[in-house]
Structure 1
């Protein structure tokens, strides 16, 4: 069994973010590799999220999670998966706006980001379907409902 090392960085004050054991459990749930690895999760303010989102994605607003996969130079092998940068304020607002529990939405953001670090994406519909199905399965294993089902979706069924 592979081991995942977590480096949790909190760059915000006065937050009610989950604790390190929760972040570790969620990240381990999403790690599908067969080797040991390390991931950094950094909890940031809207200002830091906006700055990074603008710099790396040309979007001048905060976002829920940014994923930065580690790309080792040729000849260097370091068991580092990459970094997740999560904006606590955005996660809290989204959970409230979407009628989800804060803990469930945090779990979803960590799993979503971890899948990005492992090469999953949602740029096109086919890739999005694969990634979302995996997220749903991993979250269900944690006892968390499908994050893509809303009251409006239920009414359409």
Structure 2
């Protein structure tokens, strides 16, 4: 069973308490890590791998998105792998960082007619997969990533967030 060391930082008002977010993140990422190890053959080191999650807002994530991706607009989640790896390759001791924007998550959840927690869960899984080298730049990559997300979300009791949609590649965002 993979071991994770999850560090949580809440940097914007309006989020649940740090303890609640840490508990939700631990549940979600543990299920995702177990799925990756069991179903996808993802290796994990014997020691815990560190994941940092920053819960922030649109203003901060817009600045990060502009600096690192050249897109001067808020987004829902950003991931920054500590070391570049491909799916199925051994991660290092530090997996990387996930940054989530509350206002965008709220807005998208309302637009998608989902609960905030269900959408946040999806975005945590999405961001976590990026740390393992999953991507959605090309359609075939998007299909693989979305299928893996959907199977993990099913283990968490959530429905397919992509049902009835074409794969979303990063060139469209």
Pick the TM interval, shorter chain.
Answer: 0.7 to 0.9
Which consecutive segments of 4 or more residues in structure 1 shift more than 6 A? none
- TM-score when scaled to structure 2? 0.79
Tell me the SS of whatever aligns to 2:79.
strand
> Of residues 12, 21, 24 in structure 1, which corresponds to 2:23?
21
> Which residue is equivalent to 2:161?
147
Bigger mean CA deviation after superposition, 13-22 or 101-110: 13-22
SS of match in other structure, 1:66: strand
Instruction: Tell me the equivalent position of 1:65.
Output: 77
State the distance in 2 between where 1:15 and 1:68 align: 21
Match of 1:40 in 2: 52
CA distance in 1, matches of 2:64, 2:103: 15
Equivalent residue in structure 2 for 1:113, among 127, 151, 156: 127
Instruction: Report the Cα distance in structure 2 between the residues aligned to 1:147 and 1:10, rounded to whole angstroms.
Output: 26
Question: TM-score if structure 1 supplies the norm length?
Answer: 0.87
Rounded Cα–Cα distance in structure 2 between residues aligned with 1:132 and 1:14: 29
8 A contact 1:29–1:111 mirrored in 2: no
Which protein has the larger Cα radius of gyration, Structure 1 or Structure 2? Answer: 1
Structure 1 gaps, min length 5: none
Structure 2 CA distance for aligned equivalents of residues 28 and 68 of structure 1: 19
Contact persistence 2:51–2:97 (CA under 8 A): yes
The residue that corresponds to 2:169 in the other structure is none
What RMSD, in angstroms, separates the aligned Cα atoms of the two structures? 1.9
The runs of 5 or more residues in structure 2 that have no matched partner are 37-42, 85-90, 166-173
Q: Does 1:124 pair with 2:134?
A: no
The residue matched to 2:134 in structure 1 has which SS?
A: coil
* Count of residues in correspondence between the two structures: 147
Aligned: 1:95 with 2:109: yes
